[in-house]
Amino acid sequence: MDEFYKKVADILEVDGVTGDSVLAGYPEWDSLSVLSVIAMIDSSYGINLNSTDLAGVKTAGELWQLVQARKGKQPL
């Protein structure tokens, strides 16, 4: 999970992201960042998401939960 947050922080070009971090609160969270996060999740976790999947995601923790749910490790 920490590695996931580090990758999200790298995409947003910030020092750190936690589970409580509100993604829309970062000025860097834009359509390009969304696409970069989708690509990172695909390459790192083998999960295909689209922007619609992320529409209801508010925090980095919710994004991690979505990844885990898609991997079948826990219900969404």
Domain of residue 43, CATH code: 1.10.1200.10
Contacts of 8 (CB under 8 A, 6+ apart): 17, 37, 40, 60, 63
pLDDT digits (tens, 9 = 90+) for 28-42: 999 999 999 999 999
Burial (CB count within 10 angstroms: exposed 0-12, middle 13-18, buried 19+), residue 41: buried
Question: Model confidence over 15-24: pLDDT tens digits?
Answer: 999 999 999 9
The SS3 of residue 22 is: strand
Whether 40 maps to a domain, the answer reads yes
Domain membership flag for residue 76: no
What global pTM score does this model have?
0.87
Is 13 inside a domain boundary?
Answer: yes
Write out the residue range of the structural domain in which residue 57 sits. Answer: 2-70
Residue 75 lies in a domain: no
Which one-letter DSSP state was computed for residue 23?
A: G
Q: Please give the tally of structural domains in the chain.
A: 1
